[in-house]
Amino acid sequence: MEKQEFEMLMKQDSIRKHQTAAESLDVLLNENPGEKRVSLIINNNSNCNIIVRFAGEKFYNLPIYRHSKNFIVVEKGTYSLGANLCNARYSATKTFDDSATMTLAENQ
């Protein structure tokens, strides 16, 4: 089931990639305290394709190919994050007030 969702999200992601890239660069290059959004880069160092799920006041799903990275622009705030990293479950609560880079990997 998640494999089909991943494929659908990747199709949507590829259609919006230019817009998302421009938006992400705008947020990164023009960071100011009044900005309500942050740009996040997430590295997937696992051997599986993953969907990183953000749950907060707003919800986002970010698909990332294995051994790759993807980026997203989200509203500032606190989110519960979740992802299936092959046979491991990633779960965390994070507050994003600034743009950031995260790396997810399987436990070796």
pLDDT tens by residue, 8-19: 999 988 877 777
Residue 108: pLDDT band with limits 50, 70, 90: low
Q: Which residue has the tokens 């919800």?
A: 59
Question: What is the β-pairing status of strands 50-55 and 59-64?
Answer: antiparallel
pLDDT tens by residue, 44-97: 999 999 999 999 999 999 999 999 999 999 999 999 999 999 988 999 999 999
Helix (H) or strand (E) holding 4: helix 2-29
Residue 23: pLDDT band with limits 50, 70, 90: confident
Residue 22: pLDDT band with limits 50, 70, 90: confident
2-104: CATH homologous superfamily?
Immunoglobulins (2.60.40.10)
**Domain extents for the chain?**
2-104
Question: What is the β-pairing status of strands 68-75 and 77-85?
Answer: unpaired
What burial class does residue 13 get, using C-beta atoms within 10 Å of its C-beta: 0-12 exposed, 13-18 middle, 19+ buried? middle
